Structure 1
Amino acid sequence: MTTRRTHGTSHLLTGGYRPVTEEVTEYGLPVLGQLPAGLDGTLLRIGANPLGPSDPATDHAFAGDAMVHGLRLRGGRAEWYRNRWVRTDRVTHALGELPTPGPQSGLCDNTNAGLVRHAGRTLALGDGGALPFQLGDQLETLARYDFNGTLPAGFAAHPVADPLTGELHAVAHRFGRPQLSYLTVDSDGHVSRAEPITVKGAPMVHAFSLTDRHAVIYDLPVTFDPRAAAAGSRVPYTWDEGHGARLGLLPRGGRDADVRWLEIDPCFVFHPVNAYEQGDRTVIDVIRHERVFDRDPLHPTESTPALWRWTVDHRHGTVLERRLDGRAQEFPRIDDRYAGSPYRYAVTVGLRPDRGGALAGPELLRHDLLTGHTEVHRLGAGREAGEAVLVPRGAHAPEGDGWLLSLVHDTVTDRSELIVLDSAHFTGPPVAVVPLPVRVPHGFHAQWVANSQP
């Protein structure tokens, strides 16, 4: 154990949301059941874990300092667990450490929003134009990373890897600027294209969707709020009723002028599921929030997020909006081998917004989008899971066939554990459980880094 900090009282600082105050390393974790031999890699999870006191009147739910958790699995063993704060300027200052090396970009460097493995590097990602931080195999922060000097400004929280080309695509926004940047990173880790995209106002574009023909851009009514920025908010965005909502379809290889904008009903999307082409239509599946950061500008729980499908008819310039599943859910994951292509399965976290559940919930949902059937894995009383990551059973396994890994908090023990589900028996008990020595606070996103992954 290397670092201890204390906390005041703040928003999501109760139950499974309470931040941890120590960096911990534990070896030789117990395993209940049998870890599949094919699980050779590290499960990573990132989220907001405030370092130091928090003010419940002003602190945004997404503003906590970035912390990464890791669990190394190999040969049926859980070799180690560790957690580390990402060494942003704020964190190094608080810990009395030297600043992290590397270039600077934008007003904020808090990369608590996502993780990606690309071109041999594991990167922690953030919103608002923050540069990624490169992490080492032991979760140590190595440096800020600008893709070998090829990134013209900031990066994005949710890039999409094209499984066919090996490229990484992203749509980046920067605080207060009425312009986005569509970025393409080649398989060697160099930005090969940076196309400016003009938008009205300065919307938050937390994520986008990618098909084999288009980048789908979400220009939605959560926009930069100068008043929130002046008040010191680290996430200065609120609902803007007059902004409207629209989808932008940018042909891959196209320019700003080639974006086709289509109006949709007002809403917000933190996390798309997937998108693909179907003849002269583009099918876009998302988790849709009817409204966020309006009545409650600090938390994303004022409406029920549900699974929706938007179908763009290119001939007529229309968008058909249809709800696929009305249950409260978030954090969708698919078999990443099918990103941008027609697909069948999506797994989400079933939430309980009425109980404050925004980042975790008491069940996992597995949607069969071909049949419309949904399987439910119920965790039991007092247990809440975060985002589930699929590890395919093998390189040539059918879509969705493999193991689902999720971190679960148990309110009785106030500790967390890894559960491993067999997708073939989704509703049944886990094939393996790894009890952890600590609580992993409910966070944002998970990433599996295979031992052989480049």
Structure 2
Amino acid sequence: MGNKFLEGNFAPVSREHTITELAVTGRIPDFLDGRYLRNGPNPLSEVDPAAYHWFMGDGMVHGVRLRDGKAEWYRNRWVRNPAVTAVLEGEGPSRFCGLDALGANTNVIGHAGKTLALVEAGAPIYELTDELDTTGVCDFDGTLRGGYTAHPKRDPRTGELHAVSYFFGMGNKVQYSVIDAGGRARRTVDIEVTGSPMMHDFSLTERHVIFYDLPVTFNAEMAVAAGVPSALRTPAKLVLSAMVGKVRVPDPMTAMMARKIGANGGLPYRWDPKYPARIGVMPREGGNGDVRWFDVEPCYVFHPLNAYDDGDSVVLDVVRHARMFDRELHGPGEDNPTLDRWTVDLVAGKVLEERLDDRGQEFPRVDERLVGRRHRFGYTMSADGGANPGGSLFKHDFHTGSRQERAFGAGRQPGEFVFVPCHDDAAEDDGVLIGFVFDPATRRSDLTLLDAGTMETVAAIHLPDRVPNGFHGNWVPTTP
């Protein structure tokens, strides 16, 4: 049985590189001093195509160091959790499973002088060196134990990281946290939700935190089937069904079930048509009792583009999937995701849902200086079914309602692009867009720099290998 998430540019690469001589076409702007980093799944060991889910592969971080108009190096490194380390050291993967085997494969950020490889759903996150070698698990100096999230939001005013984390072992709760600019948790709040949803991302405004409680939920039957012997599946499923969504799962039960969910097996979350679709709005300094819930049409949102307050309303620009993990169980692929705007009227108590662009797209990004604030521009990657990359990058102008498309031609496939301003006070699209572009003809990738205003190529840094289709990246500037 084939699996498209192991084929083409979804297939893993087999080598780690350290390359200090990189060919460049064009001119790298002098204001770029830092690293472009991107994370994604890259299974180290052979996996079963019939069972493999794209979200479950071992994490691999790719990075390019830019300084003084030069590309100083390209590196790619597996994130060395215990399972990856055992394989690389020749010990084999069999003695590690569950959360210790789940790769930090989804995002990579810089915060408080550290480089952090991120994942969600209770698995550990890892600290890396500047050269992308793994130093160990990060728990924010012991102030936030357990799992974190793949999508923290940095408040551009305070430098704090706001986040919402989920894990099936938390039952019907998710956790809102704030990590200060020094890298320590200063606030955590448990928020009650309907059951045990996959809350991949959230939104932040200057006054509010927004939760997406949507109908992709922990599926006890899938979790049990991932590794429980057939004779024990019925009692195990009953135990999980009774506990998830009602009470917090005790640590021994959590550990037992984590061991049963294989490192590269099926993801135990699935579309649940009976689960209500709603969004919660909480004041930033509020608690569980302050959350107001608003119904929306059934759908799923992996990634909001941005959000902001507008008088007595909250405006949410999101990439909306009509459903997720219903028929396609190896990765996103149910339909073409659309760019929508949800306006939450806090006075009337309802949500206005509008379609901004019906062309398939994903991986939305915004100028990070405007997180939680009104934005004009946003950038998305064309996508077929939510995973297969198209050949274009979209630039949305929310003031004019127009969309600019940059095609890369000849079957080339762009990944997520991020915006970097040319200086701290630059205009919203005065800078460059940075992302990897895969060329199937050469089987290699370029780190491509575009002028954000014109969408024309500024420079292309040619890598010696391809960067597989992955998830999220960020520009991490050099700190003094």
Of 430, 454, 468, which aligns to 1:441?
468
Looking at structure 1, the residues matched to 54 and 333 of structure 2 have their Cα atoms a distance apart, in angstroms, of 10
- 2:37·2:61 contact (CA, 8 Å) conserved in 1? yes
Q: RMSD value over aligned CA atoms? A: 1.8
Mapping 1:232-243, distance limit 5 Å:
232=226, 233=265, 235-243=267-275
Q: Which residue number corresponds to residue 28 of structure 1?
A: 21
Q: Which residue number corresponds to residue 17 of structure 1?
A: 10
Mapping 1:86-235, distance limit 5 Å:
86-96=79-89, 109-176=102-169, 177-232=171-226, 233=265, 235=267
Cα deviation, residue 287, structure 1: 0.5
Structure 1 residues 160 and 174: CA distance shift in structure 2, 3 A: same
Q: Which residue number corresponds to residue 451 of structure 1?
A: 478
- 1:9·1:55 contact (CA, 8 Å) conserved in 2? no
Q: Which residue number corresponds to residue 446 of structure 2?
A: 417
> What secondary structure does 1:62 align onto?
helix
Cα deviation, residue 88, structure 1: 1.2
Structure 1 residues 219 and 372: CA distance shift in structure 2, 3 A: same
- 2:83·2:101 contact (CA, 8 Å) conserved in 1? no
| CA distances 1:343-388 after superposition (whole Å, capped 9, x unpaired) | 10001001233xxx71532000000011001100010021000000
| CA distances 1:122-180 after superposition (whole Å, capped 9, x unpaired) | 11111102232001011000110111110043211101000011110000001242110
Looking at structure 1, the residues matched to 382 and 329 of structure 2 have their Cα atoms a distance apart, in angstroms, of 23
1:50 equivalent in alignment to 2:82: no
Looking at structure 2, the residues matched to 36 and 208 of structure 1 have their Cα atoms a distance apart, in angstroms, of 33
Q: Which structure has greater helix proportion?
A: 2
Q: Which residue number corresponds to residue 375 of structure 1?
A: 404
Of 381, 384, 389, which aligns to 1:360?
389
Deviates more, 1:171-180 or 1:271-280: 171-180
Cα deviation, residue 13, structure 1: 2.1
- 2:109·2:473 contact (CA, 8 Å) conserved in 1? no
Cα deviation, residue 231, structure 1: 2.2
Q: Which residue number corresponds to residue 396 of structure 1?
A: 425
> What secondary structure does 2:168 align onto?
coil
> What secondary structure does 1:425 align onto?
coil
Of 288, 302, 312, which aligns to 1:256?
288
* Equivalent residue letter for 1:448: W
* Equivalent residue letter for 2:210: V
Q: Which residue number corresponds to residue 267 of structure 1?
A: 299
Looking at structure 2, the residues matched to 38 and 419 of structure 1 have their Cα atoms a distance apart, in angstroms, of 16
- 1:359·1:444 contact (CA, 8 Å) conserved in 2? no
Looking at structure 1, the residues matched to 44 and 477 of structure 2 have their Cα atoms a distance apart, in angstroms, of 30
* Structure 1, unaligned runs of 5 or more: 1-7, 100-104
* Equivalent residue letter for 1:436: L
> What secondary structure does 2:139 align onto?
coil
Structure 1 residues 248 and 165: CA distance shift in structure 2, 3 A: same
Cα deviation, residue 77, structure 1: 1.1
After TM superposition, the runs of 4+ consecutive aligned structure 1 residues lying more than 3 A away are 8-11, 105-109
Of 259, 270, 277, which aligns to 1:245?
277
The alignment's TM-score, normalised by the length of structure 1, stands at 0.93
| CA distances 1:67-94 after superposition (whole Å, capped 9, x unpaired) | 0001111111111111000011221121
* Equivalent residue letter for 2:288: D
> What secondary structure does 1:79 align onto?
strand
Looking at structure 2, the residues matched to 97 and 149 of structure 1 have their Cα atoms a distance apart, in angstroms, of 31
- 2:122·2:166 contact (CA, 8 Å) conserved in 1? yes
Looking at structure 2, the residues matched to 349 and 359 of structure 1 have their Cα atoms a distance apart, in angstroms, of 10
* Equivalent residue letter for 1:306: T
The alignment's TM-score, normalised by the length of structure 2, stands at 0.88
* Equivalent residue letter for 1:32: T
Structure 1 residues 159 and 359: CA distance shift in structure 2, 3 A: farther
Of 331, 336, 355, which aligns to 2:368?
336
Looking at structure 2, the residues matched to 61 and 109 of structure 1 have their Cα atoms a distance apart, in angstroms, of 12
Looking at structure 2, the residues matched to 109 and 145 of structure 1 have their Cα atoms a distance apart, in angstroms, of 15
Cα deviation, residue 109, structure 1: 4.2
Looking at structure 1, the residues matched to 91 and 310 of structure 2 have their Cα atoms a distance apart, in angstroms, of 52
Looking at structure 1, the residues matched to 133 and 424 of structure 2 have their Cα atoms a distance apart, in angstroms, of 30
* Equivalent residue letter for 1:69: H
* Equivalent residue letter for 2:328: D
* Equivalent residue letter for 2:215: P
Cα deviation, residue 400, structure 1: 2.1
* Structure 2, unaligned runs of 5 or more: 93-97, 227-264
Q: Which residue number corresponds to residue 3 of structure 1?
A: none
Q: Which residue number corresponds to residue 314 of structure 1?
A: 346
Cα deviation, residue 106, structure 1: 5.7
Looking at structure 2, the residues matched to 396 and 360 of structure 1 have their Cα atoms a distance apart, in angstroms, of 33
